[in-house]
Amino acid sequence: MPAAAAAAASLVLFAPSRSSSSSSRRTLRRPSLIPLRRATVAPSRPRIPRLVAVHAAVAIEKETPEEERPETFLRAADGHHGAASASVRARFERMIREAQDEVCAAIEAADGAGKFKEDVWSRPGGGGGISRVLQDGGVWEKAGVNVSVVYGVMPPEAYRAAKGEAVSGNGNSSVKAGPVPFFAAGISSVLHPKNPFAPTLHFNYRYFETDAPKDAPGAPRQWWFGGGTDFTPAYIFEEDVKHFHRVQKEACDKFDPSFYPRFKKWCDDYFFIKHRGERRGLGGIFFDDLNDYDQEMLLAFSTECARSVVRAYVPIIERRKDTPFTEQHKAWQQLRRGRYVEFNLVYDRGTTFGLKTGGRIESILVSLPLTARWEYDHIKGGGCTHLILMSMDARRKTKQSVSVISRA
């Protein structure tokens, strides 16, 4: 998945389901038990977002390296003093920076040897980010945890799509044509362990706003949230799958019992490699263009999801990081890493958008593993893909195949 700047900025391509000015907000309900179901290989048809041909017309200033982390990347008008410090922009920035610190500390503690390298950057017109990468550590081959705050300008057709307006045949709409300022902030991370029995993790949480166009000052501001957490094992341990999804469900159920089944399906549909007919991993949760709930509730929900990353992932790493493995196990992991690369470079919204619009390349491509592998006709007889579900008795160092999911 993309770096935070690219992922957050990519939201201009996808219109929200409802306007933030809508007076209809959903109410919260008491949690209910929702059974976990294993992801099937053949997905249902995903929701198709409305696309806008933005291309390179989105203007994002080039970054400038900085020696020290600033207290905030927000512009003075959005700053951290007085009433501005209570804005959603300011609170979301504080949340993602705290989450970055928490995740990086947990990763370094579990790794035991590697340390994150940090790059701080800013942009002249406001905004910036902190990129942290750990490479060739004791546990992780590559771990990236990035935050960014982005100010930019998008073309008027993107703004009309964000408002859900249709353009008439003569090109007129209720909003005059003109550049539309936008704000985006997010945290994005991909963690690739060395041990083939330890899963890769991705998470991303972002907030997006559009300001009124300069030639239409009375137009309403739009906002929405997006994000998710998912994991991609090469070898699948049933207890790890249950633990990971249980944490996602617990985070969702604190706010709405419909969130977990809804966002789990969304995740299954999104992380699908169409040209392979395969899922990238074993899912988690994913949501985008979310603004049909109270804004404060969605800020709290995004915060809870970001804070649940460590407890969802680190216990799995602690169980698997020292598991003995062979060269054959490693080769299979590398083949699965190849699928990860294919998805990110071909289908991932944030990665492809960032590459087309001049985003920070090192941050965009931090999601890719250091090593991957492609073999011609790896599995004979129709190219079946097998996901082996295994449980391991750590005391006896024995393995037992629980089940095999295959695609003919």
2-16, pLDDT tens digit by residue? 344 444 444 333 333
Spell out the residues 6+ positions from residue 139 whose beta carbon is closer than 8 angstroms to its own.
110, 111, 112, 113, 114, 193, 194, 195, 198, 317, 321
Residue 60: strand, helix, or coil: coil
Mean pLDDT of 281-299: 96
DSSP 333-348: HHHHHHHHHHHHHHT-
State residue 362's pLDDT score: 86
Cα 129 → chain centroid:
16
Handedness of CA 68, 73, 77, 79 (dihedral sign): negative
Answer yes or no: is pLDDT of 135 > 60: yes
Instruction: With beta carbons less than 8 A apart as the criterion, state whether 196 and 235 touch.
Output: yes
Q: What is the DSSP letter of 274?
A: T
Answer yes or no: is pLDDT of 329 > 90: yes
Higher-pLDDT residue of 376, 107 = 107
Mean pLDDT of 254-274: 97
- The candidate with the shortest Cα–Cα distance to 224, out of 183, 196, 168, is 183
State residue 221's pLDDT score: 77
Q: How far apart are CA 139 and CA 192, in angstroms?
A: 9
Instruction: With beta carbons less than 8 A apart as the criterion, state whether 106 and 118 touch.
Output: no
Average of per-residue pLDDT values in the chain: 78
Q: What is the DSSP letter of 59?
A: B
pLDDT tens digits, one per residue of 102-129: 999 999 999 999 999 999 999 887 899 9
State residue 90's pLDDT score: 95
Percent of the chain, pLDDT > 70? 68
Higher-pLDDT residue of 45, 86 = 86
For the annotated catalytic residues, the residue numbers are 202
pLDDT tens digits, one per residue of 177-198: 567 788 999 999 999 999 999 9
Percent of the chain, pLDDT > 90? 57
Higher-pLDDT residue of 161, 360 = 360
User: ∠326-332-336 over CA atoms, to 5°?
Assistant: 145
Q: How far apart are CA 144 and CA 407, in angstroms?
A: 32
Higher-pLDDT residue of 270, 34 = 270
User: ∠194-142-138 over CA atoms, to 5°?
Assistant: 50
Spell out the residues 6+ positions from residue 330 whose beta carbon is closer than 8 angstroms to its own.
196
